[in-house]
Amino acid sequence: MVPCAFSGMVRVGLQPSRSLGLLLGASHFAAASSLLLLSWPRPLCWIVLASIGGSLVLGLRREAWRCSRSTIIRLDLEGGGRLCVFQKNGRRRQGIVMPGSFVAPFLVILRWRPERGGRRHYTVIARDAADPAAYRMLRVLLRHPL
């Protein structure tokens, strides 16, 4: 649910994304096909090819299809850069948006870290994965924080 008047906070519900799935598939296919141009030993190529396939499956399950237990299904972002993410397994995590998030009309890559410390996380949000009004407010809030 998105409030009518912009109050400095946006709630974005995330759904599966067809365009992100296509983007992940195309990029992994390009990486796998580039192995044909390299003159590496055959066993090494198979190991790299298996890791590319594993990375594709993991990315599709977690970011594009949103069917993994640890995937983010909703995020609340405040104007000051505070963030609360809700995972599919019921876990709720508070965090802080870090500089370096990528914001474009078709894709947002949100860079954040947990509030109590820990490693950095990236959340990929395609335009078709969220409500258009919430997606637009998320982009505005990331480009022009309050």
Does residue 84 carry a pLDDT above 80? yes
Per-residue pLDDT of 11-48, as tens digits, reads 999 999 999 999 999 999 999 999 888 999 999 999 99
* Sign of the alpha-carbon torsion through 103, 108, 109, 115: positive
Q: What is the DSSP secondary-structure string of the chain?
A: ---SS--SEEEEE----HHHHHHHHHHHHHHHHGGGGS---HHHHHHHHHHHHHHHHHHIIIIIS--STT-EEEEEEETTSEEEEEETTS-EEEEEEPTT-EE-SSEEEEEEEETT----EEEEEEGGGS-HHHHHHHHHHHHS--
pTM (two decimals): 0.85
Per-residue pLDDT of 57-81, as tens digits, reads 999 999 999 999 999 999 999 988 8
pLDDT of residue 80: 86
